Amino acid sequence: MNMNIMNVDYSTKIPNNVNLAEDRQVLKALEGWHPGYMDWWSDMGPEGFQESLVYLRTAYSVDPRGWAKFDYVRMPEYRWGILLAPQEENRVVPFGEHFGEPAWQEVPGEYRAMLRRLIVIQGDTEPASVEQQRHLGKTAPSLYDMRNLFQVNVEEGRHLWAMVYLLQKYFGRDGREEADDLLRRRSGDADAPRMLGAFNEATPDWLSFFMFTYFTDRDGKMQLHSLAQSGFDPLSRTCRFMLTEEAHHMFVGETGITRVVQRTCDAMREAGITDPTDIAKVRALGVIDLPTIQKKLNLHYTLSLDLFGSEVSTNAANAFNTGIKGRYHETQIDDDHQLKNSTYPVLKLINGEIKLVDEPALTALNMRLRDDYSQDCVKGMLRWNKVISTAGYQFQLKLPNVAFHRHIGEFKDVHATPDGILIDDATWAKRRDDWLPSTADGDFITSLMQPVTEAGKFASWISPPKVGIDNKPGDFEYVRIES
Ligand SMILES: [Fe+2]
Ligand SMILES: [Fe+2]
């Protein structure tokens, strides 16, 4: 069969552009895995709304100029498929010991275990976020937001398929076992939790959802970018296409937070409130006060920082040396791509002080990726702060210091303020609720989470979006709940 790699074959049960129809063994393995996936979706996917018609995009091509088509779909009928970006001709391993050698189309035997582990860790995050967000449909602030939630959910499901394809095609029996385990673990489960901390936390409300898609999906973006550099070409191609979808998830987060901030500022102005830190007065308006938004931001940013692992790591060095996981925008960096003699400044705790210390660049790769991530995060602050200053308020949302509220790496055993001042346990205990969401903050936000399901209407605490999805008008019915 002569297939155009750009276009997706929808004639098979599993849509794909990897010629599954002629890859009988892998097709069989995936078809064997499919029922378990559907069971997982019905147990752990969005609660309710499974019969509703949702205006979703489905990928029909991997051409970045036009790859998605929008239509009403019942979520269980979404066509989850296997989509790889087109193969780049003569691609080489762009970094590490194998720099300049032809990229691998098969798994190199000596790196098999490491590759499998990285694919499993990435794969595990995809269903985890669906599990974390499963109850949010019931409190959606609008049909527009509900649709975006479900879009993110079905695409995270597809990302799971993407990783499972790699496991089943390239890792034989243990790949199939890992694929089954990805459906067995559950976010927050005491016996079989998901593999990474942030993916076992609750996403209790919609502000958390927006923070999660802004900060935690952005960690995903950084990881996918590094894996898109991989010398193992099928992994690179898979991640490159996933990044196309990921962009929407972060858009949902960034614009979601913008709309919350906007609504708060508008309400404060209408009510003549001059002090944005007068929490009681602001909350009485049915909007979320800026200090509480800052606390949520502190929480989700720091949980996401933990996902980058220890600042100094031999695992990270090995993954780079072997050509498996590169740096953010590796091919655009102007150096030897081997890091033989270079150093990188790492924040460390030295004699009770936070100091920058030069470390061999190879072992500091997690720190470097985390720095790239933090820089990427700043863009949102600028946008949100613009909304606040335009409304005439002197208040700035800020990223907290990387020593604040950490559970992994250099600062896990100390307490620091959001400004990076080290403090003792007693001070931390006293001040914690000033910096991170308290139970009372959570209760207040929960009290606002009243569902709005009339087309074109929005909950009190969030502004409408500037433009609709797929350029639809403001009163478009993005979800037909009763269908
Ligand atoms: Fe994903
Ligand atoms: Fe995502």
Please check whether residue 127 is in contact with residue 437, taking contact to mean a CB–CB distance below 8 angstroms. Answer: no
* Residue 414: count of CB within 10 angstroms of its CB: 17
CA dihedral sign, ordered 397, 465, 144, 7: negative
Token pair of 257 as six digits: 């937070």
Token couple for 280: 């009681």
Ligand 1 center to 159 CA (angstroms)? 5
User: Could you tell me how many residues make up the chain?
Assistant: 483
- Ligand positioned closest to the Cα atom of 212: 2
Measured in Å, residue 272 CA sits from the centre of ligand 1 at 42
Ligand with smallest separation from the Cα of 149: 2
Distance 271 CA to ligand 1 centre (A): 41
Task: Tell how far the Cα of 273 is from the centroid of ligand 1, in angstroms.
Answer: 40
Tokens representing residue 73 in the block: 């779909």
Rounded to the nearest angstrom, the distance between the alpha carbon of 213 and the centre of ligand 2 is: 7
Instruction: Tell me how far apart the alpha carbons of residues 383 and 378 are, in angstroms, rounded to a whole number.
Output: 9
| Distance separating alpha carbons of residues 231 and 216, to the nearest angstrom | 25
What pLDDT, on a 0 to 100 scale, did the predictor assign at position 3? Answer: 45
Q: What's the 122 CA to ligand 2 centre distance in angstroms?
A: 11
Give the closest ligand to the alpha carbon of residue 160: 1
Q: Enter the DSSP assignment of 198.
A: G
Identify which ligand lies nearest to the alpha carbon of 250. 2
Tell me if residue 348 falls in helix, strand or coil. Answer: strand
Q: How far is the CA of 110 from the centre of ligand 2 (A)?
A: 31
**Cβ atoms within 10 Å, residue 20:** 22
Cα distances (Å, whole numbers) of residue 270 to 259, 265, 274 = 16, 9, 10
Q: 348 CA to middle of ligand 2, Å? A: 31
Contacts of 427 (CB under 8 A, 6+ apart): 415
Give 374 Cα–ligand 1 centroid separation in angstroms. 19
| Residue 31 CB neighbour total at 10 angstroms | 13
Separation of CA 152 and ligand 2 centre (Å): 6
What is the Å distance from ligand 1's center to 219 Cα? Answer: 10
Ligand nearest to the CA of 247: 2
Report how far ligand 2's centroid is from the alpha carbon of 292 (Å).
25
Distances (CA, A) of 437 to 28, 223, 262, 303, 464: 48, 27, 20, 13, 25
**279 Cα to the center of ligand 2, angstroms:** 32
Give the pLDDT means over successive 10-residue stretches in the chain (483 positions). Answer: 63 88 94 97 97 94 81 96 94 98 97 97 98 98 98 98 98 96 97 96 96 98 98 98 95 98 98 98 98 98 97 97 98 96 95 94 98 98 98 98 97 97 97 98 98 98 97 96 86
Q: What is the pLDDT of residue 4?
A: 56
CA distance 359 to 371: 15
How many CB atoms lie under 10 A from the CB of residue 57? 18
The bound ligand whose nearest atom lies closest to the alpha carbon of 122 is 1
Interval between CA 320 and ligand 1 midpoint (Å): 22
Q: Ligand 2 center to residue 244 CA distance, Å?
A: 10
Report CA(253)–ligand 1 centroid distance (Å). Answer: 14
Cα(297) to ligand 2 centroid in Å equals: 18
Distance CA 302, CA 407 (A): 9
Q: Which pLDDT score, from 0 to 100, does residue 68 have?
A: 87
